Chains A and B, each alone.
Chain A
Amino acid sequence: MNISRRQMLILLPAAAVAWESILAGTPESSPNYKMTEHWWGMLIDIPKCIGCGNCVRACQAENDVPDGFFRTWVERYHVTDWNMENPEVISPDGGKEGFPSVTQDTDGKYFFVPKLCNHCADSPCTQVCPVGATFISPDGVVLVDQTYCLGCAYCVQACPYGCRYIHPQKKVADKCTLCYHRITKGLTTACCEACPTGARQLADLKNPKDPIHAFLKTHDVQVLKPQMATGAKVFYNGLDGSVR
C-alpha cells in the first residue's frame, strides 16, 4: 500500500481525532455533574421535626414506593423519666398520615425521628452482596442495580438500620437512592423538598460552600448506631440517647 506524503498529512490528524473520541468514552447522562466532586449525606434537625409525614408521602410519590414499604419513615419516641432505656416508639404506616395527637403533657418527653438510609461509607449491606448488585457510588450514595439483584435479601438482613426491603412486585432489593435522579440534576431530594420546617437538609460534604460544614462546627451532631462504625452520613442534630 502506497501512501503519498500529501495523503499521510491528511490522515494523521484524522486518526488523532478518532483516537481521542475512543479515549473519551461515552458521556455521562448529566453532562455538568461530576461524581468525583460530591460526597452526599443528609442533616436531620430533630427539634424542627413536627411529624407531619410530608417526607414519607413525597418519597412514595417520587419513587413509586409500594404501599406498606418505606424508603423513609418517621418514628415518634416517648421517653419517660423512669424508663429511659425503653422508650415507647410508634410509627403508624411509617408516619405517612401523621401521628395521633397527644392531648396533654404527660410524663416524659416526645420527639420525632425521621429515618432513611444512612448511605454509610463502610456499609455492611454492600459488603454482603454476592453478585455486586449493590454498591456505594463514587459520590457516596448506596444504590441497588436492580437488573443485577437476585433478591437473596442478604443486604436486607445486613442493614443495621432496617432501611432495605424486597420490592413485592420486582422481587429485588429496594431502598432509598437519596433521590439520585434528582441530586445529579442539581435538585434536592423529594423528602427535603417537601419538608415544611427544614428539618431535613441534603448535604454535600465535598462542597466547601455547603452550609453543612458551618452547622457541624456549631452543633452537637450524632449518627445512628455509631458503635457499628458504618460510616453513616445521615447526621442528627439533637438526637436523644434513647434512639436506637
Chain B
Amino acid sequence: MSVFKDSGHLFRLAALYIVGSLTFLGIRGFLVPKSFGEYGHYRGNAIAEIAARPIHFAGHQACETCHTDVQQMKQSGMHAQVNCEACHGPLAKHADDPSVQPAKLDTAVLCVRCHAVSAAKPKNFPQVAALDHSNGLPCETCHKPHSPAISAGGAK
C-alpha cells in the first residue's frame, strides 16, 4: 500500500480544486446576466432595451390620422410620395400632444435643399437656380408646398 502512502495530498488538492471550481461557478452565475445566451453569445435583454428607445419621427401614418385635408391635397400633387416629416422635421412630440406646436418652416431654405440646381442630381428631378428663378421671393409666393405645381392651386 506504499503507493497510496501520501495520497492525502491528492485528496487535499482535489478538494481545493472542487472548492475553487464551485466558487468560480458561483461568482460567474452571480455576475453573468440572466438573459445572456438566450439567443446567442450576448445579453438577450439588450434587444428589448434597444427596442424601447423613444421615437422622434412620428411617421406619416400618425400625421394623416388628423391632417386628412393636407393628405388629400398632397395626393394629387408632385409631393404625394414625400412624407410629412421630410420637410417638417421630427414631430413625435406634436403627435403625442397636439398642443406642442411645430416650428414654422422657411420655404426659402427648405425647398432649395432638394431643388437647388446641380448637374450631379438625376436629370429628371426638377431643379432651379433659386436666385434666377424667383429673384429672392420665397417659393410659397407661387408654389403651394403640399401640391407645388402652379396650376394645381389649393391652400398652403
> Which residues of A line the B interface, CB within 8 A?
28-30, 33, 35, 47-54, 58, 61-62, 76, 78, 98-99, 101-106, 110-112, 132-138, 143, 145, 147-148, 177, 180-182, 184-185, 187-188, 190, 193-198
If A135-B42, A193-B85 are given as contacts, then 4 extra A-B residue pairs at C-beta distance below 8 Å, sorted by A number, are A50-B125, A102-B118, A134-B42, A145-B46
Give the Cβ gap from A161 to chain B, nearest Cβ, in Å.
20
- B60 CB-CB contact with A under 8 Å: yes
What is the predominant secondary structure among interface residues of chain B facing chain A?
loop
Q: Are A193 and B56 in contact (CB under 8 A)?
A: no
16 A-B contact pairs sorted by A residue (CB < 8 Å) = A33-B51, A48-B122, A49-B122, A101-B116, A105-B119, A110-B120, A132-B42, A136-B40, A143-B46, A145-B46, A147-B46, A187-B55, A187-B59, A196-B79, A196-B81, A196-B82
In the complex, the answer to whether A101 meets B40 with C-beta atoms within 8 Å is no
From A105, A148, A182, B42 is in contact (CB under 8 Å) with A148
B113 CB within 8 Å of chain A: yes
Say yes or no: A110-B119 contact (C-beta < 8 A), given A61-B89, A135-B42, A196-B82. Answer: yes
CA distance A29 to B40 in the complex (A): 19
Complex CA–CA separation, A196 to B80 (angstroms): 10
Q: Return the contact of B122 from the options A47, A102, A145, A198 (Cβ within 8 A).
A: A47
**In the complex the two chains form, what is the Cα distance from A136 to B36 in whole Å?**
14
Partner of A193, one of B53, B60, B81, B114: B60
Interface size class of B (residues with CB under 8 A): 35 or more
Instruction: Answer whether residue B67 sits at the interface, using C-beta atoms and an 8 A cutoff.
Output: no
Given A137-B39, A193-B59, A50-B51 contact (CB < 8 Å)? no
Question: Is B41 part of the contact surface with A, judged by Cβ < 8 Å?
Answer: yes
Residues of B12-57 at the interface with A, using a CB-CB cut-off of 8 Å, are 36, 39-43, 46-57
Instruction: Assess whether A51 is in contact with B121, with CB atoms less than 8 Å apart.
Output: yes
B117 at the interface (CB under 8 A from A): yes
Residues of B within 8 A of A148 (CB): 42-43, 46
Binary contact track B105-120/A, C-beta < 8 Å → 1, others 0: 0000000011011111
A145 touches B55 (CB 8 A): no
Q: Do A29 and B43 touch across chains, with their CB atoms under 8 A apart? A: no
Chain A residue at smallest Cβ distance from B46: A145
CB of A143 within 8 A of CB of B50, answer yes
Q: Are A53 and B113 in contact (CB under 8 A)?
A: yes
Q: Which of B61, B81, B117 contacts A101 (CB 8 A)?
A: B117
